[in-house]
Structure 1
Amino acid sequence: MPRQRRPRDADDALPASEDRHFVTALARGLEVLGCFRRGEALLGNQEIAARTGLPKSTVSRLTHTLTELGFLHHAPAVGRYRLGMAVLSLGSAMLGGLDIRRIARPLLQTLATETHSIVALGSRDRMGMVYLELARGDAAVAVNLEAGSRISLTNSAMGRAWLAAATPADRAALIPQARDPAKLEATIGRALAEQAEFGCCCSFGDWQPDVNAIAMGFQPGGGLPPMVVNCGAPSFLVSPEYLLQEARPRLRAVVQKLEHCMDLAMTA
């Protein structure tokens, strides 16, 4: 019987690979690091084994190695691990290399202020979306999100906008990785239909019952993957009609400005 894994998120799964260049030991180590979720500071080997589906003896060797390399820190008083400083260094290096965050920051804040919403720049990580930059309007304080937050690829406007902006080849490559390939195929169909009808993708109570959002994807160039800007807030603040009629033109202007600025940065 094959081992059953519990993925990090509802839609997450590690891709199976028969590629002879694929290093399984490295993938398992990264899978251990991926077990740590927002709001969880400490995990033990048993919890990591349950989340990855790996034998506890394998997990013990992996956590020992990652601790020696600084990617985990062992807390002997409780016999558990937290993410180490080496992870922070990698994350800081990655984010520091994204000039688009610096370019996007004032644009996102202006849109958030104008629409009294949360506005974010994000991109895909496996079967989820990660916020790279985020701005809040003065009234949008009820949604607990920040840069680094991770949301669903299939149930969010941001995720569907990424699917609409991705190449057909990128979308096709995701389907075998999904926990429910049929659901992902249906989501792709919906994303493309919404993009064709509205020029954006929508989530009116899909991601969370009391949150409405719209999102637009774009290709930033410069070797970067597709990215998305979304605009949303609790439903008592923004209705679907408001988002589509008032916020959507402003969102489109932000995306177009980002594309233009990135074009200029690439040719400078």
Structure 2
Amino acid sequence: MISRGRTGSILVTGAGHGIGRATAELFLSRGWRVGMYDVDRDAVTQAAAGRPGAVCGELDVRDPAQWGTALREFCGDGELDVLVNNAGVLASGPFEEMSADVHRRMVDVNVTGVVTGALEAYPYLQRSARGLLLNLCSASALYGQPTLATYGATKAAVRSLTEALDIEWRGAGVRVRSLLPLFVDTEMVSRDGRQAASVAHLGVRLTPEDVATAAWRVVHERRRFPSGPHRPVGRQTRLMATASAVTPGWANRLVVARLAR
């Protein structure tokens, strides 16, 4: 846990837009040193311009070499307090109507990118007395979503990775957490999630700033016992997470099937 009155260093992927940008800007506004990295170099350059404490650069999260460059650029030989594995891509629609390349890109960015980031950042997080790996997961990981099949599967993988590393890295003093928002008002959802039936049924009720605030809370939360590593974001997701944990699988399946109509 990091004291609310104390600043630190945080690297955010996918920081050029949406949740990543909102998270980076929140921490910058509160005096943190922030690494803003994105595959869209122009976007992070613009976002970081004139911001004391901001360091920006291009990063394709699928590439270990680019991760190494970004971490050395931002951390040098030092430590990293927080890595926010935020970068992700979304495609929605009938599973069989999307090309293999579209499915593969989601797996490569959403899973391989998160795994690679965790692996490359571990030595820097371990050096910090308060290291935290924060993965952006999704309520789509709670139960497989029709028209979001591969996207949900990638987020289920992130959820499982978070659970495993939360236990595995405890001895090294590195906390591992995930955020699980439902649909967030970002370009990714409005553009790439428009064919997801559950978007129409559940609506888009979260803003990038809501998720950024949740990230701030996780970074500064006091240790809770017993407590799992996942943090639902928003009332809808909290209700869904609670319900999915206590209701039988067949009931969850019926609910998801109804939302997919």
The TM-score with structure 2 as length reference comes to 0.26
Highest RCO, 1 vs 2 (Cα 8 Å, sep ≥ 6): 2
Higher helix share: 2
Higher gyration radius (CA):
1
Please identify which structure carries the higher strand content: 1
